[in-house]
Amino acid sequence: MKNGFIKLANVTPRVYLGDVKENLNEIKKAIKKIDADIITFPELALTGYSLGDVFFQNDIINEVEESVEEFLKANSFEGVIILGAPVKVENSLYNCALVIQKDIILGIVPKTFLPNSGEFREKRWFKSDYDFDSICYANLEVPFGSIKFIDQLNKVNFAVEICYDMFAPISMSSIYSINGCNMIFNIAASDEVIGKDEMRRNFISAKSKECCAIYSYTSTGVTDSTSSVLFGGAKVVAQNGELLNNAELYKMDTDIMYTICDIDRINYARDKFIALNDSLGVVDAYIQDVYFSLPEKEYLPAIDKDPFIPKNNPKEAYKTISNILELALARRIEVSHSKTVVVGISGGLDSTLTLLVAYKAFKRLKMDVKNIIAITMPGLGTSERTKTNADVLMETLGVTRREISIEKSVLGHFRDINHKKDNMNITYENAQARMRTLILMDVANDNQGIVLGTGDMSEIALGWATYNGDQMSMYNTNCNIPKTLVRFMVKAYADYEFKNAKDTLYDIIDTPISPELKKDQKTEDTVGKYEINDFILYNYLMNGYSAEKIAYLLSKAYEIDGAEDVKKFFNRFYSQQFKREASPDGIRVFSESLDPRNGFVIPSDILRRLK
């Protein structure tokens, strides 16, 4: 296991009911094919689940133990294997999970809650209570009971529960997660009835969220028995509420499902999940610690190159985001008793999104869109393309259009401060941005309105804004929308709602990003590609990844040497916190934000830099 990625193999083997040798052969054949860190097989995989009163026969129970001993001697798999089997201790039989690594049984975990109604009558054969911590099994002294399996090097703490254990009001997985487990494995025998597959997926996803953990579920399949129920071979992996993988049901032959999970992402989420620590002591449980080490193998999941862009039902995601932006702005207009809103329109992506959101907010409030005052402020670097697009868009929407050139004001200001107009340094640029903000603020005052900011989350992260210039407004609808998502939202508005402005909006999307403070200026020449910056921002802010891990993923996703891009991003990111500290209000659409009040909170004089 490297870089925090762990590969799981969930296996539903073909079952030979009551034939331990054949079941073991099927299991061994599957293991030979598998390249993973942890393999799970279903509940009672060595015998089959549906043996009924054959569980009372000592010969089959003894055969299971002998087969396990034989398996341990021949096992060369370096990772961990979780295997369901009946285990007899003195005169009591337990439905157990054997946790195996090479020739060692790391621990044996018995099922805690035994179903005992309808077609499931496990209390007829099995017990759940015990008063011992270890047993002698397969000629080994083995820990027995509730166990936390710990790999300290890789920061993996996992536990095993068995099928029905997950449904208890206080489940074993909940207890394990409170006590530090970031992975839960469930080996099961789950029958299929109408609606159960969806219910099971939803429940497992919810359980992974509740436990703030990776939850891996493996059930027996159709070859177990069909006496009264059919088992479908369900295999589901979820991570902190997100469904990662789900196997097709009803396979007759042995079926293997692979999933690569992210331990670093889970551990970051757990660090921020205060309820976990607050839950300690609520439930008194004795859990043994057993230590192990996973082999150092490198696995890599499919990498999302544009992680801020919704992939699953993008239209629904667009509706959610647009509702948040529009309703938040509508409410701010109401509570501020504003008669108007004032927006500086550049013909670029960000101001376009702000204008579209303002238009929709006014429609929701049943206010006249003429009270949206949209101002173009051509300056020393304004292009004909952006100005034309801005004018066409404002005319199409029917908002109040104003054009106020800043050239004379800026040149006069240069004379006042003795700045030569051909000195195109930072003062040359910032003076224009501050002049535009001064105009917007004063127009808003004159019209009982508020100025809407247009700076997006990517610009805020990079500090790509003029302090007390475009950095400032009275409310910023874009502050939690990164650049790649701004582009997505403008396109979605064009496709779904503003079809009469579609051509203009598409041309705005295709226009090179620029503050147009100098001729032919391109933002990405200075700060780097926004796709790269947003990739870094997402994996840092949302996943809590280290700079090293982000550089590694960036190099794999974009086939570049990501170290330099990551260094450049973070050196800007930390040095620009002082701008974020003074940022205006704005609504969030993600669970994390750069809001210095209740989002990303660090001191503005932090000295952290990457070498």
Residue 227 pLDDT class (50, 70, 90 cuts): confident
Distance from C-alpha of 565 to C-alpha of 253, rounded to nearest angstrom: 47
In a domain, residue 470? The reply is yes
Please report whether residue 237 resides in a domain. Answer: yes
More confidently predicted of 57 and 117 = 57
State pLDDT tens for residues 190-204: 999 999 999 999 999
Band (278; pLDDT cuts 50, 70, 90): confident
Q: Is the pLDDT of residue 118 over 80?
A: no
Q: Where is average pLDDT lowest: 118-122, 232-236, 447-451, 536-540?
A: 118-122
Q: Which helix (H) or strand (E) holds 457?
A: helix 457-462
pLDDT, tens only, 327-348: 999 999 999 999 999 999 999 9
Is residue 78 one of the residues assigned to a domain? Answer: yes
Q: Which amino acid is present at 332?
A: R
In this structure, the answer to whether residues 321 and 286 fall within a common structural domain is: no
| pLDDT, average across residues 258-266 | 97
Please give the pLDDT value at position 35: 96
How many degrees, rounded to 5, is the angle at CA 265 between CA 264 and CA 270? Answer: 95
**Distance between CA atoms of 444 and 437, rounded to whole angstroms?**
11
pLDDT given at position 303 = 96
Mean pLDDT of the region 145-167: 97
What is the residue range of 531's domain? 314-581
Q: Residues 276, 325: one domain?
A: no
Q: What is the rounded distance in angstroms from the CA atom of residue 342 to the CA atom of residue 584?
A: 15
Q: Assess whether pLDDT exceeds 80 at residue 151.
A: yes
Q: Are residues 357 and 287 in the same domain?
A: no
Q: Supply the pLDDT for residue 281.
A: 67
The count of domains in the chain is 2
CATH of residue 212: 3.60.110.10
**pLDDT score at 431:** 97
Q: Are 280 and 338 found together in one domain?
A: no
Same domain for 163 and 83: yes
Pairing of strands 147-151, 288-291: parallel
Q: Is residue 303 part of a domain?
A: no
Q: What counts of helices (H) and strands (E) characterise the chain?
A: 19, 22
408 with 350, same domain: the answer is yes
Using pLDDT thresholds of 50, 70 and 90, give the confidence band for residue 439: very high
Domain boundary among 244, 259, 291: 291
Query: Mean pLDDT over all residues of the chain?
Result: 95
> Domain holding 486: CATH number?
3.40.50.620
**Residue 134 and residue 145: Cα distance in Å, rounded?**
8
**Is the pLDDT at 282 greater than 80, yes or no?**
no
CA distance 72 to 294: 17
Q: Which of 276, 291, 306 is the last residue of a domain?
A: 291
Q: Residue 540's closest CA among 611, 590, 477, 592?
A: 592
Percent of the chain with pLDDT over 70: 100
In-domain check, residue 596:
no
Is 373 found in the same domain as 270?
no
Decide if 380 contacts 409 (C-beta within 8 A).
Answer: no
Phi/psi of residue 321, nearest 5 degrees? -65, -45
pLDDT, tens digit (0-9, with 9 covering 90-100), for 71-111: 999 999 999 999 999 999 999 999 999 999 999 999 999 99
pLDDT in tens, 393-409: 999 999 999 999 999 99
Residues contacting 263, CB < 8 A, separation 6+: 1, 4, 5, 6, 154, 155, 156, 182, 183, 214
H-assigned helices in 497-593: 502-510, 523-527, 530-541, 547-558, 562-575, 577-581
Position 306 in a domain: no
134: three-class secondary structure by DSSP: strand
CA–CA distances in Å: residue 259 to residues 233, 297, 321: 16, 15, 30
The answer as to whether 405 is a domain residue is: yes
Region 2-15: mean pLDDT is 96
Q: Do residues 250 and 357 both lie within one domain? A: no
- Are 522 and 575 in a shared domain? yes
Tell me the pTM.
Answer: 0.91
Q: What amino acid is encoded at 105 in this protein?
A: I
Question: How high is the pLDDT of residue 611?
Answer: 67
In this structure, are residues 605 and 576 in contact, taking their beta carbons and an 8 Å threshold? Answer: no
User: What tokens does 294 get?
Assistant: 């996973």
Same domain, 122 and 154: yes
Instruction: Tell me how crowded residue 105 is: count the other CB atoms within 10 A of its CB.
Output: 22
pLDDT level of residue 284 (50, 70, 90 thresholds)? confident
Q: 463 and 499, same structural domain?
A: yes
Q: Does pLDDT of 387 surpass 70?
A: yes
C-alpha span between 56 and 124 (Å, rounded): 10
Secondary structure (3-state) at 448: coil
Mean pLDDT of the region 429-442: 97
Residues 520 and 427 in one domain: yes
Q: Is 299 part of any domain?
A: no
Q: Is the pLDDT of residue 594 over 80?
A: yes
